A and B are shown apart, each in its own frame.
Chain A
């Protein structure tokens, strides 16, 4: 059971330990992703744990020939649960509704002369704190798409499968989210120089 394919085959055959081996490699990444959608804490932990349990129970339905990798399949389950929590929060008025992807949010903030360049910002923890703040200000669906691309490295097609969205919607969400982070950094004085 050394190769990932063998481990996956064993898990699909009902080997719980094989599934745990697979889940253990993705546990941290799944939590990191869900925590950035819901905010870190018990909600995100519960969502990931429930998602892994759900994945185990339905692993027989996973079809590698369907185009999605096992990793993408896991992210899809966890991400769908996280978005369901977001929607529940929206119903309670805790989270604003997602803006229309075709409207607004496409303006580019202009950098102020004399601000720090990217290398200066990236050199300190302050930069990452600024990025996290900027991400938190992005609508959850856009943030989801951006993180799946920039942090997890999924292709646009995989993100479309994971989120159940059209390719154009994925492109739009990623661009808007990235632009929002860029503008947030610019408002903190970043000149926009790539260094």
Chain B
């Protein structure tokens, strides 16, 4: 029915026909101006389609593929809990220290010393004076001589020992033995918070 091999012309134009078919078509095109023009048209259309600008995506289409290690999530939780714990310890320690420094007697030892119930071998003048002020006694002028004479006085009935240790120093020493300083808690809190933040960012990237 068709004397012109029009259905094969695109493959011919693309040089994708079988070798023997290519030879047949080449022979036909040599004597058929119409089919030769069709081939030119198809090649021109191919060039236009290839040159037409393609649509571009409005966003990146790359899926998130980097998977976070399994230990990352519990590590972040642990670091967060650690940061909170160290922050609490720091605040608690700071409050205790500030109470001691202000002379408010926030510890049991200080309160006892202030009430004169602390069983000290020999309190210093200032400690006795503090205790006397706290209990409303006559004052350092009265308490000091009693202490200096080594007689039972306003602070307690214990006989004087060989060495006098101030009550404040004793409390501070007890605290030093009890736990680490406040700045260490602050440092650990900041470190843990930094670690938790870093792990959180790493998890968000993955």
User: Could you give, for residues 40-63 of chain B, a 1 whenever the CB lies within 8 Å of some chain A CB and a 0 otherwise?
Assistant: 111111111111111111111111
Contact across chains for B65 and A20 when beta carbons are under 8 A apart: yes
Q: Most chain-A CB neighbours within 10 Å: which of B51, B56, B57, B66?
A: B57
Contact across chains for B42 and A178 when beta carbons are under 8 A apart: yes
Distance in Å from the Cβ of A187 to the closest Cβ of chain B? Answer: 13
Contacts of A181 in B (CB 8 A): 45, 48-49
Instruction: Please measure, in the bound complex, the distance between the C-alpha atom of A16 and the C-alpha atom of B67, giving whole angstroms.
Output: 8
Instruction: Please measure, in the bound complex, the distance between the C-alpha atom of A119 and the C-alpha atom of B8, giving whole angstroms.
Output: 25
B19 within 8 A of A: no
A106 with B63: in contact, given A28-B56, A151-B54 (CB under 8 Å)?
Answer: no
Q: Which of A27, A135, A192 contacts B41 (CB 8 A)?
A: A192
Contact across chains for B57 and A131 when beta carbons are under 8 A apart: no
A85 within 8 A of B: no
Q: Most chain-A CB neighbours within 10 Å: which of B47, B55, B66?
A: B55
Instruction: Please measure, in the bound complex, the distance between the C-alpha atom of A192 and the C-alpha atom of B65, giving whole angstroms.
Output: 49
A48 with B55: in contact, given A171-B10, A175-B10, A192-B37 (CB under 8 Å)?
Answer: no
A35 within 8 A of B: yes
Contact across chains for A16 and B52 when beta carbons are under 8 A apart: no
Contacts of A23 in B (CB 8 A): 62
Contacts of B37 in A (CB 8 A): 192
A53 within 8 A of B: yes
A45 with B61: in contact, given A16-B66, A17-B66 (CB under 8 Å)?
Answer: yes
A19 within 8 A of B: yes
Q: Which residue of B lies closest to A49 (CB)?
A: B61
Q: 17 pairs across A/B with beta carbons < 8 Å?
A: A16-B66, A28-B54, A31-B61, A32-B56, A49-B62, A106-B6, A118-B44, A118-B48, A122-B48, A132-B52, A135-B49, A146-B49, A151-B49, A178-B46, A179-B10, A192-B44, A194-B40
Contacts of A82 in B (CB 8 A): none
Distance in Å from the Cβ of A42 to the closest Cβ of chain B? Answer: 9
B72 within 8 A of A: no
Instruction: Please measure, in the bound complex, the distance between the C-alpha atom of A17 and the C-alpha atom of B62, giving whole angstroms.
Output: 11
Distance in Å from the Cβ of A123 to the closest Cβ of chain B? Answer: 11
Contact across chains for B55 and A185 when beta carbons are under 8 A apart: no
Additional 14 contacts, C-beta under 8 A, given A35-B57, A150-B49 = A27-B57, A53-B63, A122-B51, A135-B52, A149-B14, A172-B7, A175-B8, A178-B49, A181-B45, A181-B49, A182-B42, A185-B45, A192-B37, A194-B44
Contact across chains for B49 and A28 when beta carbons are under 8 A apart: no
| Chain B residues at the A interface, C-beta cutoff of 8 Å | 6-11, 14, 16, 37-38, 40-63, 65-67
Distance in Å from the Cβ of A118 to the closest Cβ of chain B? Answer: 5
User: Could you give, for residues 39-53 of chain A, a 1 whenever the CB lies within 8 Å of some chain B CB and a 0 otherwise?
Assistant: 010001100110011
Contact across chains for A174 and B11 when beta carbons are under 8 A apart: yes
Q: Which of A27, A30, A175 contacts B60 (CB 8 A)?
A: A27
User: Could you give, for residues 71-109 of chain A, a 1 whenever the CB lies within 8 Å of some chain B CB and a 0 otherwise?
Assistant: 000000000000000000000000000000000001010
A156 with B16: in contact, given A52-B61, A174-B11, A185-B45 (CB under 8 Å)?
Answer: yes
Contact across chains for A178 and B55 when beta carbons are under 8 A apart: no
Contact across chains for A56 and B63 when beta carbons are under 8 A apart: yes
Contact across chains for A155 and B52 when beta carbons are under 8 A apart: no
A194 with B43: in contact, given A16-B65, A52-B63, A147-B49 (CB under 8 Å)?
Answer: yes
Distance in Å from the Cβ of B65 to the closest Cβ of chain A? Answer: 4
Contacts of A17 in B (CB 8 A): 66
Distance in Å from the Cβ of A147 to the closest Cβ of chain B? Answer: 7
Distance in Å from the Cβ of B191 to the closest Cβ of chain A? Answer: 30
Contact across chains for B6 and A156 when beta carbons are under 8 A apart: no
Instruction: Please measure, in the bound complex, the distance between the C-alpha atom of A24 and the C-alpha atom of B57, giving whole angstroms.
Output: 12
